[in-house]
Structure 1
Amino acid sequence: MDKFSQSADAPESILLQAAAHLVNARQTGNKLDALPCNEMSLSLEQGFEIQQHVGVLAGKKVGGWKCALPKPGKWIVAPIYTDSIVSCDQYSLGSATSKVRIEPELACVLGAGLPARAAPYTADDITRSISQVHLALEVIDSRYTDPQKVTFEQLLADGLFNQGLVLGARAVSLTSTNLPTHLDVTLSHPGGEPVSVAGTHPDHDPVAPIVWLANFLSARGIDLQAGQVVITGSYAGVLEVPTHQPLDIQFGEAGSLSVFFSTLEE
């Protein structure tokens, strides 16, 4: 039996079939209208189980997680795969497109693992486990043709829009003990006016979502591992930026991140 909880209300074969469709969509770029189990109502646990099957079936290694404090009827949690984390100034997209959506975030790198255990993790545990804070951009995409037409559970199964992560330089003067609630973000690129956002962390406390994540995963027998990165929400919402142009994103006084999004045409 897998580490994560197995749902009793749906045959395992249906969840595996749904995961296989998502894997195919990731590998081929052919988007889905909905999962094959669309006629049945998935639970959050089943959506998460499908999500975990996707990584296993695709042979992916988890290099990090995205998370946020849960909202009514929603779990904000998804793996970020190692092969989609880029630590250089060029990010190659999987399809031809003139625009890409990004979310400017801070990425916390775990210097110590947080293994599954019976005792709950505390904010102090999380703070001690974070060794570095980096500037980052979450790259946003979906495996559905129209994400607004599928349920949240199906979005959860697909990893909640995560396509990848641009991991920038270490944030200047930021550590696990002084992660900001507010962070100004300015986007610049040739041929366009700079866009500035007086940013606020969506949960107001960047550590609290990681506490929730550690305990959520721990309850399902899943470890957070040393070296993994965790992102907890955008300081500027979703920004649509052009491909084939050098981009610069300034994170207040924490530093800047430069990236060039290329496509399969190049």
Structure 2
Amino acid sequence: MNQYSQPADAAKSSLLQAASHLVNARQSGNRLEALPCDEALLSLEQGFEIQQHVGVLAGKKVGGWKCALPKPGKWIVAPLYTDSIVSGEQYPLGIATSKVKIEPELACVLGADLPARSAPYTADDIIRSISQVHLALEVIDCRYIDPQKVTFEHLLADGLFNHGLVLGPRAFSLGSTHLPTHLDITLSHEGADPLSIAGAHPDQDPVSPMVWLANFLSARGIDLHAGQVVITGSYAGVLEVPTNQSLDIQFGKAGSLSVFFSTIEE
């Protein structure tokens, strides 16, 4: 053993320990105050590494990704696991709650693999790889007691608030149109007036985050696969909606999505 191997082994052990705590939080429902590591020294790369360990330790299969264009000191990237992508109209939350947070998005389904490679992917490469575009809702949750008290690297390690994805009906094909920059969102449910929002994509061009994602993952030897779904940002920010009742979300002229968020009894 050389003089450098022990610190490297210790660092790897620390990241695996942090990942195991997040796995336990996901499986038990118990929330964490923070990860058991020095958050002041945790880098973005290490936060992403912990995130990747979580999926492996939990035995999860990656069914897609959430992403956005990076911001200073922030990588907006996290896996969507197949067992949390729901195509039906009922989404089981697995907790007792009267409210849940959602983000109305468009989900792009890949029709071709985008393997890791040395040459960078272009927007044309990404557009050609998209086979379908669906209406979708990202379901928001976190494994920390108070996410405002932890660093971004800790949030990255936890998957950036992703609980799951409601994959709604097909919206359109890219052969006939481009992904819209603006998309009006109307939320309707019993007991309240409809909420209408003049929606806009946070990165303006919805394809740009996918280009960034493909190249970010490629640089780390991670492939994108046909059948995986990619979401790139909410057209209406975060919406808090009631559970245990039917909801309808209209996505402008692209169509509507109905969903029922079911909870366990307290």
- Fold equivalence (TM over 0.5): yes
Q: Which is higher, the Rg of structure 1 or of structure 2? A: 2
Deviations 1:237-258 (A, max 9, x none): 0000000110000000000000
Partners of 1:173 and 1:254 within 8 A in 2: no
Unaligned segments of structure 1, at least 5 residues:
1-6
Partners of 1:172 and 1:255 within 8 A in 2: no
Return the alpha-carbon distance in structure 2 between the equivalents of residues 222 and 124 of structure 1. 20
Partners of 2:133 and 2:173 within 8 A in 1: no
Return the alpha-carbon distance in structure 1 between the equivalents of residues 43 and 28 of structure 2. 27
Name 1:183's counterpart in structure 2: 183
Partners of 1:174 and 1:254 within 8 A in 2: no
How many pairs does the alignment contain? 260
Q: Does 1:64 align with 2:64?
A: yes
Residue 199 of structure 2 aligns to a residue whose secondary structure is strand
Residue 46 of structure 2 aligns to a residue whose secondary structure is helix
Shift of 1:41: 1.7
Partners of 1:47 and 1:157 within 8 A in 2: yes
Name 1:232's counterpart in structure 2: 232
Partners of 1:19 and 1:50 within 8 A in 2: yes
Shift of 1:38: 3.9
Deviations 1:128-175 (A, max 9, x none): 000000000000000000000000000000000000000000014655
Name 2:197's counterpart in structure 1: 197
- 1:34 and 1:251, CA in 2 relative to 1: closer, same or farther beyond 3 A? same
Residue 103 of structure 1 aligns to a residue whose secondary structure is strand
State the identity %: 83
Q: Does 1:254 align with 2:257?
A: no
Shift of 1:265: 1.8
Name 2:100's counterpart in structure 1: 100
Residue 200 of structure 1 aligns to a residue whose secondary structure is coil
Return the alpha-carbon distance in structure 2 between the equivalents of residues 177 and 118 of structure 1. 30
Return the alpha-carbon distance in structure 2 between the equivalents of residues 214 and 229 of structure 1. 12
Matches within 5 A, 1:76-115: 76-115=76-115
- 1:159 and 1:196, CA in 2 relative to 1: closer, same or farther beyond 3 A? same
Q: Does 1:126 align with 2:132?
A: no
TM-score by length of 1: 0.95
- 1:76 and 1:244, CA in 2 relative to 1: closer, same or farther beyond 3 A? same
Return the alpha-carbon distance in structure 1 between the equivalents of residues 217 and 200 of structure 2. 26
- 1:253 and 1:217, CA in 2 relative to 1: closer, same or farther beyond 3 A? same
Name 2:4's counterpart in structure 1: none
Unaligned segments of structure 2, at least 5 residues:
1-6
- 1:16 and 1:197, CA in 2 relative to 1: closer, same or farther beyond 3 A? same
